[in-house]
Amino acid sequence: MLEARELLGPTSGTKEQNRRKLIIEIMIKADQQSRLAQRLGISGASVSTAVADLVEEHIVEVEPGRKGSVVRLPETRGVALGIDLGFRRVAVIARPVDRPFDTVEAQIEIEGANRGFSRLLPQLESMIRAAVRSTGQELDDVVSAGLAVPRMIDPRNGRFTTPVLPPWTGTDDPAASLRELLGVRVAVDNDANLGAMAEQTYGLEKPLETVVYIKASTGVGAGIMIGDKLLRGERGMAGELGHLTIDRDGQVCLCGGRGCLDTLVGAEALTSQVRRAGRRDYRPPDNLGLLIGLAQKGDAACRRIIGDAGRTLGFALAQLCNLVNPRLVVLGGELAGAEELVLDPCRQELERYALAGTVTDPDRFELRISGLDSLAEAHGALILGLRARQQDHPGDGAPGGVVSN
């Protein structure tokens, strides 16, 4: 049996570094040689030569498939982790590096960072251990880890970008804390960014030029993939759709702005609307999941609130589409659970306010719900963690931190 830790060990020379990058991409997703070349940004001939060498050394296998031969790892010991640390929910996925991307072991809890990271850490450690054990391997077999958080991350140092918004503080460094447990570097990035990375890598038959992933839960964020690269911005603040001003005279937001999208379609904003609409004999839902459930069962107030949220989101997405002209917009996060109740009004307002050429041609634009269920961000974190192993000494800043795509 191969050992992933040895395959990802130190290298010397450009050829060995490129070979390790190829092995990492195969760990991320077994794929056809042409698509591996596209993901790596190198020629098909270079990949073909490298694959032939790896086959001869029994490091990879080429398996015939209905749509073409797929390059994969043989039996290999090693586990990759992806952790999604949300405000009110935590998801941990563990996958042996030789398994298909959709065969993960998952642990999910409905309490998140709103409890405070120091209080959450023991539970998170227990979830990680349980997920890894479910793969049949041990914590010592973990070779990579990525972390998704619902806040802005500076790509230069992997720390929270100012202003650092609740529930985090400027001293919090969850990636460094998890590195002490795992013994491997934990790469960290914004959750919407990693949702976009997962959609581009796992959610599509083949990559598209521009993909936008919308994470709509406690707040709203957008991850933007241009080809195989994430658009992060100078300080990691690209895609902060939730802080786009929609109502200049609206409520004050945590960011210090007024009338931000988060104050209109975030989970707390929506559940508070139900409470204000309630009668004395009406027990309103206290979280977004329950609100969506009631809307799907026909509750008039809840259906109206979800529909209005879709319309407001569609107006905001129209501005985004006018700026970046995406081929695909994917809705994820808890609000995506409302499916057509939110998607239909969202699509109506998007078509009303966006430039017609950006959204009306079904062959050039699509708006849909994520096909990765509630694990898109965790899948993206797993990808990020593996790609952090592309360099012998990844990152110049904190022990945690984002890495190049």
Under 8 Å between Cβ of 359 and 329: no
Bigger pLDDT: 283 or 249?
A: 249
* 213 alpha-carbon distance from chain centroid: 8
The Cβ-side half-sphere exposure at 5, using a 13 Å CA radius, reads: 9
At 120-152, the pLDDT tens digits run 899 999 999 999 999 999 999 999 999 999 989
Stretch among 116-125, 323-332, 334-343 having the lowest mean pLDDT = 116-125
**According to CATH, what is the number of the domain 204-369?**
3.30.420.40
The arithmetic mean of pLDDT across residues 279-308, rounded, is 89
- The answer, yes or no, to whether residue 339 has pLDDT greater than 90, is yes
The rounded distance, in Å, linking the Cα atoms of 97 and 105 is 12
Under 8 Å between Cβ of 152 and 236: yes
At 60-86, the pLDDT tens digits run 999 987 778 999 999 999 999 999 999
Mode of pairing for the β-strands spanning 220-226 and 229-230: antiparallel
Same-fold call for 78-195+376-390 versus 204-369: yes
Mode of pairing for the β-strands spanning 2-3 and 76-77: parallel
**According to CATH, what is the number of the domain 2-72?**
1.10.10.10
Domain extents in the chain: 2-72, 78-195+376-390, 204-369
Under 8 Å between Cβ of 182 and 81: yes
Q: Which CATH superfamily is domain 78-195+376-390 in?
A: ATPase, nucleotide binding domain (3.30.420.40)
Q: What is the SS3 assignment for 65?
A: coil
Paired residues of 43 in beta bridges:
none
Nearest to 19 by CA among 70, 63, 71: 71
Q: What is the mean pLDDT of the chain?
A: 92
SS (H, E, C) 300-353: HHHHHHHHHHHHHHHHHHHHHHHHHCCCEEEEECHHHHHCHHHHHHHHHHHHHH
Phi/psi for 233 (5° steps) reads: 85, 170
The rounded distance, in Å, linking the Cα atoms of 249 and 316 is 17
Read off the pLDDT band of 157 (50, 70, 90): confident
For residue 198, give both structure tokens: 């997962």
